[in-house]
Amino acid sequence: MQRAFFLASLSVCAVLLTLQAQQPQTVRQGVYAENQARRGQAVYKEQCASCHGEMLEGRLGPPLTGEDFISDFAKQPLSELFGKIRNTMPQDNPGKLTPQEAADILAYILQAGKFPAGRAELSADEAALKQITWPADAAQPKAASGANSAPSFPPAGNLAQVMRGILFPNSNIIFTVQTHDPAEKKNTPETAALAGGFNWTIWGSDIYPGWELVDYAAVALAESAPLMLTPGRRCENGKPVPVNDPEWSKFTEELAEAGRAAYKASQTRNQETVSDVSGVIADACLHCHQVYRDRQGRGRDPIDPSNKATRCVKQ
């Protein structure tokens, strides 16, 4: 009878621990164990310190402690930081770390950030880590110092030049992931020769790893989308870009968000995940083109949807 009671108690404890693990937590609630942080420190010194510093202060790579670091991840679950460590680090050999090693390093980072330890170890399961967040007040970015306003820069090119010089080629790099795995090793000089010149889908591939090029392309989309809102910019036909049009602003934000989604997808280092998000980019472009570019009627040539006469003017 005592044995039955003991086994029942163990079952109840197991259920309670499982339920507790599934409940949302913050990093202030002791989500890692001391011995796990010690293991993480050992792995960190071997795999990470050369770039991020012996004390996580930053060196070739950014610091992994402090307000600025936390603010980069404070609005995301802990699974995002875990995924970045697991999929993209160390930079010279991404994917080398096991899930357990990544979780141990993450425990060490939390310890270095003065977040308290608990009894249970931090899980290496992504679903469990999605239940752990940062406190709302964990990081409040510092206000920019100085009273002077940031300088403004007049547009150097028209909208078509920005599209063709930045947005189109970088979108093309991401679209290419649908048919080419960025992790593949390529003979770049020979490929370039066959291409007959510069090729946006292979640029820099003899300098940067393929997945990093996808990262850069996604960042370029997110960062350059606001160039569509630069005051004074004109379309290729000379008409002013409708920067004050709410719908134009909505489409601009949609493109920027697509770039951010592409970067997040690229950080998984998964070809299928990036292939899926490429549709989000295509839709963002299409929504704007349907209203401001590829329209027929009003004297336009219906055979040529690329007619430039009424671009930047809503139907």
Listed residue (286, 292, 159) closest to 231, CA to CA:
159
- The whole-chain average pLDDT of the chain stands at 84
Instruction: Look at the block and give the residue holding tokens 């090729």.
Output: 199
* pLDDT tens profile 144-198: 445 456 688 899 999 999 999 999 999 999 999 999 999 887 655 555 444 555 6
Structure tokens given for 152:
């403004």
What is the SS3 assignment for 118?
A: strand
Q: 60 Cβ partners below 8 Å, 6+ apart?
A: 50, 51, 52
CA distance 268 to 276: 12
Strands (E), the chain: 25-26, 132-133
Neighbours of 141 (CB within 10 A): 11
Q: What is the pLDDT of residue 14?
A: 47
> Can you give the pLDDT at residue 150?
66
What tens digit of pLDDT does each residue of 19-40 get?
A: 444 578 999 999 999 999 999 9
Query: Among residues of the chain, what percentage have pLDDT more than 90?
Result: 61
> Residue 143 belongs to what H/E stretch?
none
pTM for the complete prediction? 0.79
pLDDT at 220 over 80: yes
Of 241-250, 259-268, 287-296, which range is least confident?
Answer: 287-296
DSSP string, 5-69: HHHHHHHHHHHHHHHHHHS-EEGGG--SBHHHHHHHHHHHHHHTHHHH-TTS--SSSPPSSSHHH
Residue-level pLDDT at 139: 57
pLDDT for position 1: 54
- Provide the percentage of residues in the chain whose pLDDT is more than 70: 80
- Note the Cα 273 to chain centre separation in Å: 12
Q: What is the pLDDT at residue 313?
A: 77
Query: What long-range pairs does 66-73 form, CB within 8 A, spacing at least 24?
Result: 67/139, 67/140, 67/141, 67/142, 68/139, 68/141, 68/142, 69/113, 70/113, 70/134, 70/138, 70/139, 71/139, 71/140, 71/141, 73/134
pLDDT of residue 73: 87
Q: Which residue has the higher pLDDT, 286 or 300?
A: 286
